[in-house]
Structure 1
Amino acid sequence: MKTVVSISLGSDALDYDFQTRFLDQDFRVIRFGVNKDLDKAERLIKDWQNKADVIGLGKVREHYSVGTRNFVQKTTQQLESLVKKIPVTTGSALRGILNEWAIRHTQITENNFFNNSRVIFFNGVTNYKAANVLHEFTDNLSFADPVIQLGVPKLLTSLKALELYAAGTHPLNKWSPPHVLSPSVAPIKDWNRFIVKKATQKADVIAGSYEDIEHFSLEELAGKTLLTSTISDQRLELLREKGVNMVIDICPQLFEVNVGVNVIEAMILAALNKKQGELTYDDYLEILETLEAEPRVLYPSGYKRMNRFAFVIHPLSQQYFRNAKPLDLIAQYSPPVVMNTVEKAMAYAPPFVYSHVKGIKSPTGDEAEGWLITVGGTPKEIMAHSPEFTYRRLLAAAKLAKKLGAQIMGLGAFTKVVGDAGITVAKRAPLPITTGNSYSASGALWAANDAARRLGLVDINKKGKVKGNAMVVGATGAIGSVCARLLAKAVEEIYLVAPETAKLLSLKEDILLETPEAKIHLSTNANKNLSDMDMIVTATSGAGKKILDIMKVKPGCVITDVARPLDIPASEVAKRPDVLVIESGEIELPGNIQMKNIGLPENVAYACLAETIVLALEGRFENFTLGRNIEWEKVKEIYQMGLKHGMKLAAISGVSGVYSDEDLARIRQFALEARAKLEVKQRPKVLEMKPRRTTKSAAS
């Protein structure tokens, strides 16, 4: 039987003595904690090197490499030098492998988990390799070494800064006793402690030992992911009480007792009869594969994952300035000429965070938080400038989103219409982009179908199609073209309206390839067949221009207005109480949503925003919907993903708010009465034939 002894500068409360079988050999494994007593550690080393096969050193400051430079810790080196007869190890070689493996394992198995994550390291110099690996996935790294080790109230925010820090402070670190600068006992001033706590609260991932982390509370750890080592069931329960979402334990659990990485490496050395430094990377690979060991991803309270998104919004008119301080006062009292100047000036304003969105919880256990980022241009100002003008503001918003930790960004309203509809922005942005148009198209038809069903004024044929006519105004646009494709499958006849005749002809060809039996009519004039329509979708970018004459619309028609600004203003809607006009297909988000007012009921979002949220929940950090040609497969895919994550069609709403059942019943009644009147007017008049008066003939 081989004996491995771990002498740790940590607490003796974690000591153990057990026997096990490892790599087909019998082992006795013993741990002695010395509670930071170096003299006791030296006595134990001298005593046990005559009895053990290998000694492991725990909770010592390891020799480290930062950049191209290697740094030796003198106190650790002195402890190692006391062991003369047998191998000794701190586990640094294996720890480096396991650290990198844990990060890459999690990145793969958890769907791009570390993409743009905000990570704080409590000890960056000894975790430089792990930080270097994480830097492949995120630039949002910070290091608390100066604050914790030296009491300097400043975080490092780049690998370069960490390298300079390591070079500058090593002469101090290498001679100090291991416990003097230890993060768990260092005398940190209140201000410095406050800095570390605030940085921890803002982080998504916290990298450090359990001793670094255990003194933090629910306030700092709730919803966080920990990258740490040697987490026992007892420790996991304590982390659960502090609200931790996920724990990445780099150390495989090979035995009933949790042992440190130094112990595992010591056992490997003993099993192979090798000294530290003699193990090759092939040895480590072979052993790790033999053991079938892998990093542990633990969920203290069951599966939970927090992903992050950003979404760009902008004011749709001068009226929207009333919702933003301090412009609300200016908008309230200023004459139109002043507001025109403000509108022009705001188009040049840098992006800012309008709202932090929290509380989104999928039934799968995935969660999302995000930021609504405002760019200041109204549609009028956006259309008055070149696309490059808007591109620059969107790229500035993307940089802000990246700094906040967002992993994907959506474009809202007119920002997704400008130029090439997101393609250029996606090429130049530092994070994935989506316009949300796939879900907008899906939501629009989802809402239209639900509204028509609830009104009950259309019939369904034997093939499941609506018996009637549907029109898409703006049919050649990004959303309009997909709506046309969907309606061709759902309605007997469709009418496609747009000013581009060639595009209309091409769109008809495309639809007939997918749905050969579709009956399609083309026009450049929406009013031409308006009175025959049972359903209408308006998806133009007319920026407030009059799109159709609502007085010609058929009573009981369902109009879905997906344009922003709306194609049909409230003043027009008010003229037809017998027509149902809905504002596209808004989506009800899962969870208890905390978000500033965006003009919708609580827990409800525009479909384009909902698409960004669905992709975040799914961990699909990729350019999803871009350009003016939306892929039909993506429309179906985002719809299915939305159902998976608990997205629902929101209550049907219009320009005056949500339609109640009573509202729909009233519209239906008005529609039936209006149709009855039309039938009377259109009924052919029957001429009454009066008897012809005849005169008596002369013969009579």
Structure 2
Amino acid sequence: MKKVVSVSLGSSKRDHTFTTTILYKTYEIQRVGTDGDFQKFRQLLEECDKNPDVMAIGLGGTDLYLAFEDIHITLKQTFKLIRGIKKPCLDGSMIKHTLEPKIILELSQKPGFPSIKGKKVLVVSAVDRFGMVQAFRKLGCKILYGDLIFSGVKLPIINLPIQIPIKNHWVFRQIAKVMLPQVANKSISELYIIGKDQEKTDQGDFSRYYNWADIIAGDWHLINRFMPVDLEGKIIITNTVTIDDIHSLTNRGASWLVTTTPEFGGRSFGTNVIEALFIAILEKDPNQVTKKDFLQLIDELKLVPRIINLKQ
């Protein structure tokens, strides 16, 4: 049986395994959390690399690449962690630039789903979800770029969080141009919520950003870490949610949940898992795969998002 394994720096409590048949071939899809243990993360990568059944590896709890328009960086710590691994290692970047914007544009035309056009959208990390940003801008949405609020990036010398909301695209681009090259050298734990921290919530003064928005979009762990008790009427667009996460959103009053990745056994895997699965299906070198290849496969597989009306 062909296998796709996501090795994650996230919590092992969110582990999940699912077997499915796609285009007449059977795949076992597995997510394995390491609770923020970098040594174990590397060990599992090496084990997957030696396993002939593993076709591709997803990188969870981190990114390998970040991009905003023509600004592209590689996170050096992630690159070091995968150094020497011969199997394809995918962080979900291509899925974020193909499947996610496609889904958002299609949602705007979906009967029975609230109109997205012109809505206020909190994107918790735009450099992680530039495809989403492009789609929302095409729909005339007002965007709050949450990177400086939720990323944990601090001002030099005084070592204090920046926490500045940006609502102007041009302004955010100038900031990204300056800050992304610096981010490349940051440790993963400075930039991302990993290990058991994924189980924590922060009830700091972030509610005003959520209250401002009609739609909250992006990485689930960032959304979940800082979300307030009251999400009445909000639309959440994300992925990697569990049954418990759905209950939490329902209890907070959110109206709709859209997971950009499809449901597998009651769970929507992260973009890294779906990208690794795509590479396994295509049986190509990731460096030779184009956006067109991914979009054609998305259409061939008839992938649809999971859409849940949380008020029913």
TM-score by length of 2: 0.86
| Cα shift at 1:174 | 1.0
Name the structure 1 match of 2:121.
119
Letter in 2 for 1:118: K
Matches within 5 A, 1:35-114: 35-51=35-51, 52-84=54-86, 86-110=87-111, 113-114=115-116
Question: What SS does the corresponding residue of 2:139 show, helix, strand or coil?
Answer: coil
Deviations 1:227-284 (A, max 9, x none): 1113333321221011001112111225555322222221222233212132233432
Matches within 5 A, 1:352-367: none
CA distance change for structure 1 residues 103 and 96 in 2, over 3 Å: closer, same or farther? Answer: same
| Cα shift at 1:56 | 1.0
Letter in 1 for 2:229: L
Letter in 1 for 2:306: R
Structure number with greater CO (CA < 8 Å, separation at least 6) is 2
Matches within 5 A, 1:227-242: 227-242=237-252
Distance 1:200 1:117 in 2: 13
Distance 2:104 2:119 in 1: 12
Distance 1:3 1:128 in 2: 29
Name the structure 1 match of 2:269.
259
Name the structure 2 match of 1:131.
133
Name the structure 2 match of 1:386.
none
Identity fraction in percent: 23
1:244 equivalent in alignment to 2:245: no
Return the match for 1:168 from 178, 182, 192: 178
Name the structure 1 match of 2:188.
178
Distance 2:291 2:191 in 1: 32
Deviations 1:663-686 (A, max 9, x none): xxxxxxxxxxxxxxxxxxxxxxxx
Deviations 1:456-478 (A, max 9, x none): xxxxxxxxxxxxxxxxxxxxxxx
The runs of 5 or more residues in structure 2 that have no matched partner are 154-160
CA distance change for structure 1 residues 53 and 205 in 2, over 3 Å: closer, same or farther? Answer: same
Name the structure 1 match of 2:21.
21
1:2 equivalent in alignment to 2:12: no
Distance 1:128 1:282 in 2: 18
Deviations 1:585-636 (A, max 9, x none): xxxxxxxxxxxxxxxxxxxxxxxxxxxxxxxxxxxxxxxxxxxxxxxxxxxx
1:153 equivalent in alignment to 2:177: no
How many residue pairs were aligned? 295
CA distance change for structure 1 residues 183 and 143 in 2, over 3 Å: closer, same or farther? Answer: farther
Contact (CA 8 Å) 1:88, 1:275: kept in 2 or not?
no
1:218 equivalent in alignment to 2:229: yes
| Cα shift at 1:112 | 7.4
Structure of greater Rg: 1
Deviations 1:331-387 (A, max 9, x none): xxxxxxxxxxxxxxxxxxxxxxxxxxxxxxxxxxxxxxxxxxxxxxxxxxxxxxxxx
| Cα shift at 1:154 | 1.6
| Cα shift at 1:157 | 1.1
Distance 1:271 1:132 in 2: 27
Distance 1:133 1:24 in 2: 33
Distance 1:225 1:257 in 2: 19
Distance 1:88 1:183 in 2: 20
CA distance change for structure 1 residues 287 and 57 in 2, over 3 Å: closer, same or farther? Answer: same
Contact (CA 8 Å) 1:122, 1:207: kept in 2 or not?
yes
Deviations 1:393-423 (A, max 9, x none): xxxxxxxxxxxxxxxxxxxxxxxxxxxxxxx
Contact (CA 8 Å) 1:62, 1:90: kept in 2 or not?
yes
TM-score by length of 1: 0.40
Name the structure 1 match of 2:157.
none
| Cα shift at 1:45 | 0.8
The runs of 5 or more residues in structure 1 that have no matched partner are 303-700
Contact (CA 8 Å) 1:98, 1:295: kept in 2 or not?
no
User: What is the aligned-residue RMSD (CA, Å)?
Assistant: 2.4
1:290 equivalent in alignment to 2:292: no
Contact (CA 8 Å) 1:45, 1:82: kept in 2 or not?
no
Contact (CA 8 Å) 1:42, 1:82: kept in 2 or not?
no
Distance 2:169 2:149 in 1: 16
Distance 2:39 2:14 in 1: 19
Question: What SS does the corresponding residue of 2:241 show, helix, strand or coil?
Answer: coil
CA distance change for structure 1 residues 153 and 279 in 2, over 3 Å: closer, same or farther? Answer: closer
Letter in 1 for 2:270: G
Question: What SS does the corresponding residue of 1:218 show, helix, strand or coil?
Answer: coil
Distance 2:136 2:285 in 1: 31
| Cα shift at 1:207 | 1.3
Question: What SS does the corresponding residue of 2:138 show, helix, strand or coil?
Answer: coil
Question: What SS does the corresponding residue of 1:155 show, helix, strand or coil?
Answer: coil
Deviations 1:526-573 (A, max 9, x none): xxxxxxxxxxxxxxxxxxxxxxxxxxxxxxxxxxxxxxxxxxxxxxxx
| Cα shift at 1:179 | 1.9
Distance 2:304 2:131 in 1: 19
Contact (CA 8 Å) 1:240, 1:300: kept in 2 or not?
yes
CA distance change for structure 1 residues 69 and 171 in 2, over 3 Å: closer, same or farther? Answer: closer
Where has structure 1 moved over 4 Å in runs of 4 or more? 183-186, 254-257
Letter in 2 for 1:197: S
1:269 equivalent in alignment to 2:279: yes
Name the structure 2 match of 1:503.
none
